[in-house]
A = this chain, B = another copy of it.
């Protein structure tokens, strides 16, 4: 009988932000295939038993091709093993979980998905920026800066609605062009933006600015990729003391 594959979200970075279920499943695994966004501290939660295998990608440079990862999941499951595919954030938010689920289903391998705190929620909590707020934002749009073919967004009107928060999962390379697009399509130059790298970890860095200057500020700060970009009036709902505190690596808001 085949084993089972768990597609597990490891959360935004802080090992305390894994779910209780993710921790249990890690401890029950025979083998864990993890990506680069999963830290050694998180892998340590699995205890000494499971074998760890790196199956990540690094900033678009695919060290392990996606098809190869799927092959490994299927091969281990067919050996009767309990396999955990551990992914940063949540498996179904820009995490390729859907593609891996497709491959497992086609192979007849039982699969269960364990959700995780996606980076947007973790970074929002860690910076005190509410993604929704009845005074400022009625909706939240999660997107990437470009798609598989490298195309920019094609419906800027949806991205420039004043009462909508944008959460952009992308590296810093496309940030300037993305912000220019928002300005060209109607958002003001001084519209608030925050870029967060290594959010929720002790190495968290937050850079705050506007559509006009955020790309320069982020570049000057030397923020690493990947980063998360939050855009909208809610960014101003976190005051400067909050962001100063969180930039120093603490999630405490008002001290």
Contact = CB atoms under 8 A, between A and B. Distances in A.
Contact of A133 (B99, B140, B251, B255): B99
A144 interface: yes
A134 interface: yes
A155 B128 CA distance: 28
A35 interface: no
Contacts of A136: 98
Interface in A109-161: 109-118, 121-122, 124-126, 128-136, 138-144, 147-148, 153, 155, 157-158, 161
Contact of A92 (B99, B124, B134, B153): B124
Interface residues of A, number: 75
Interface of A: 9, 11-12, 14-21, 23-24, 90-99, 101-102, 104-105, 108-118, 121-122, 124-126, 128-136, 138-144, 147-148, 153, 155, 157-158, 161, 164, 234, 237, 239, 251-255
Given A17-B19, A92-B129, A139-B153, 15 more contacts: A12-B115, A92-B125, A98-B135, A98-B237, A99-B133, A101-B128, A101-B130, A110-B255, A117-B121, A132-B142, A134-B147, A138-B147, A140-B141, A141-B142, A155-B157
